[in-house]
Amino acid sequence: MAFELASVLMKMGIVSTSDHASVVSINIFASLLCACIVIGHLLEESRWMNESITALAIGLVTGVVILLVSRGKSSHILVFSEDLFFIYLLPPIIFNAGFQVKKKQFFRNFMTIMLFGAIGTLISSSIISFCAMKLFRKLDIPHLDIGDYLAIGSIFSATDSVCTLQVLNQDETPLLYSLVFGEGVVNDATAVVLFNAIHSFDLSNIDSTIGLKLIGNFFYLFITSTLLGVLAGLLSAYIIKTLYFARHSTDREVALMMLMAYLSYVLAELFKLSAILTVFFCGIVMSHYTWHNVTESSRVTTKHTFATLSFIAEIFIFLYVGMDALDIEKWSFVSNSPGKSAKVSLILLGLVMIGRAAFVFPLSFLSNLAKKSPNDKIDFKQQITIWWAGLMRGAVSMALAYNQFTSLGHTELHGNAIMITSTISVVLFSNVVFGLLTKPLIRWLLPPNSKQTISMSSEPPSPKSFLFPLLNGQDAEAADRNHPSRLRMLLRAPHHTVHYYWRKFDDAVMRPMFGGRGFAPFVPGSPTEQSVQPW
């Protein structure tokens, strides 16, 4: 990671060495992060603003100031690196998403989430790629081949629903929150898996089997990445359960959980799998097993540590995107054709909206057909909210675009420069304009006293709610009393049937081996020991 402000500061006499310039740059960026947190907190109740838009705005203002100080030579403190994003910033965000997810709601709507996040992303990517190929060739965009157009589809199918999730209340609208949150994570993972699958094939010689190979490679990456995350989570649970029998250390427990989570991520990168999927499911498994094997102090520490790291990484990303939007080097490549760059940005923005609508409404219709309870169905206002939540583009799109169209952070070809500047324009416009309208739109569509807010009973947040089961015990107990046949149970209520047999397997096999809810760590002299009653 380089620091471009070094030469400017040295010329101004502020510092004498590049090392000092690096320290100054880090201090400035840390100060900006603090400003984003403070200002975002003050604007938390604002009708329009949220922390993402606040960080973007501060980044833009900072970029303007740096431009003036450097006399138009630079607009940011740090040079963007895909490695910085994918290796250091993205893991805590995705892991915390899996660690804090309400598992009951997530798995209750798992099929719908996978329908939107996986199938929907493939539909959106296909539409964006095909339409971009037809329209960009008419605009005579140079240096773009079939691989670039397929990559464009995966880049702009990666959503960023942070703005919407900051407005939705998971206790008031658990169904909608679960769908938007789950689809957002699976969508990002699917987009990255699709992007990597495209890069793994030689698309210069396309034949009739390339499509089948691409789909097969996609499902291979999807399944193996998920299994790796599950195995890493189970391994961490087993190690902590056996290693710290009758003796616990909060420092070691927290460190081991953090390192095992990060190890799952880098292992997936090493084996060229989807690290996003891996670390997400690792977080889910850790919250279900590992988190319950540690002491109460370790539970509180890990919960807030993972949330804090995720929070800082999100602000870091949006702050940098705001600064990088004014990078002179990128815009200088398209200065001779600003109209063409604007047209490309408008086309991409329109394709994002069309591609999103092409799967949200049809797949919602299909999902509703499979649900018997009216409370479980997605009504039209909720469908609009889901469609709107996925219109924003963020850091994943930026990172994939840099990976595809730049080399070491710098554009080399005119067509690549147009795609980079257009990506920046779409990210800024979608986050600022769509983000500003998110709160008013959702309050209009889903007023606090509407039926949507009470359509499903809320549950305590996970993993804090370790006294509550992963699955609905009442449904399982009722099924157990009636003793219907397995086939009849599966046809009548497939969701409850799967949960029923999963609970039996979990209680009989998984928890005795890996711990989990109900496992009380024994620490001499601790409240845990005092709570143990004599036989």
**Which residue would you say has higher pLDDT here, 235 or 89?**
235
Helix (H) or strand (E) holding 511: helix 511-514
Task: Inform me whether the pLDDT recorded for 247 exceeds 70.
Answer: no
Q: Which of 147-151, 168-172, 385-389 has the lowest mean pLDDT?
A: 168-172
Per-residue confidence (pLDDT) for residue 266, from 0 to 100 = 93
CB 409 within 8 Å of CB 79: yes
Per-residue confidence (pLDDT) for residue 176, from 0 to 100 = 86
Q: Give the type of residue at 472.
A: N
**Which residue would you say has higher pLDDT here, 447 or 307?**
307
**Which residue would you say has higher pLDDT here, 301 or 462?**
301
Nearest to 100 by CA among 453, 386, 465: 465
* SS3 of residue 499 by DSSP: helix
CB 368 within 8 Å of CB 126: no
- Surface-to-core class of residue 480, CB atoms within 10 Å of its CB (0-12 exposed, 13-18 middle, 19+ buried): exposed
Per-residue confidence (pLDDT) for residue 177, from 0 to 100 = 85
Q: Which of 95-99, 331-335, 398-402, 427-431 has the lowest mean pLDDT?
A: 331-335
Task: Inform me whether the pLDDT recorded for 168 exceeds 80.
Answer: no
Q: Retrieve residue 164's tokens.
A: 């919407």
Task: Inform me whether the pLDDT recorded for 169 exceeds 80.
Answer: no
Overall average pLDDT of the 206-219 stretch = 74
pLDDT per position as a tens digit, 397-421? 888 888 888 765 556 677 788 888 8
pLDDT per position as a tens digit, 349-372? 999 999 999 999 999 999 888 877
Per-residue confidence (pLDDT) for residue 129, from 0 to 100 = 93
Task: Inform me whether the pLDDT recorded for 430 exceeds 80.
Answer: yes
Cβ-based neighbours of 395, under 8 Å, separated by 6 or more? 85, 89, 90, 160, 317, 318, 321
Per-residue confidence (pLDDT) for residue 496, from 0 to 100 = 64
Task: Inform me whether the pLDDT recorded for 211 exceeds 90.
Answer: no
What is the rounded average pLDDT for all residues in the chain?
77
CB 458 within 8 Å of CB 444: no
* SS3 of residue 534 by DSSP: coil
Overall average pLDDT of the 43-70 stretch = 78
CB 360 within 8 Å of CB 115: no
Per-residue confidence (pLDDT) for residue 453, from 0 to 100 = 40
Per-residue confidence (pLDDT) for residue 245, from 0 to 100 = 54
Per-residue confidence (pLDDT) for residue 407, from 0 to 100 = 61
Overall average pLDDT of the 441-455 stretch = 64
Separation CA 139–CA 348 (nearest Å): 13
Helical residues (DSSP H) of 411-463, grouped into ranges? 414-429, 435-445
Separation CA 163–CA 392 (nearest Å): 8
Helix (H) or strand (E) holding 334: none
Share of the chain above pLDDT 90, in %: 18
Q: What is the DSSP letter of 60?
A: H
Task: Inform me whether the pLDDT recorded for 502 exceeds 70.
Answer: yes
Instruction: Kindly give the interhelix angle for 435-445 and 380-389, rounded to the nearest 10 degrees.
Output: 170
Task: Inform me whether the pLDDT recorded for 488 exceeds 60.
Answer: no
Per-residue confidence (pLDDT) for residue 308, from 0 to 100 = 92
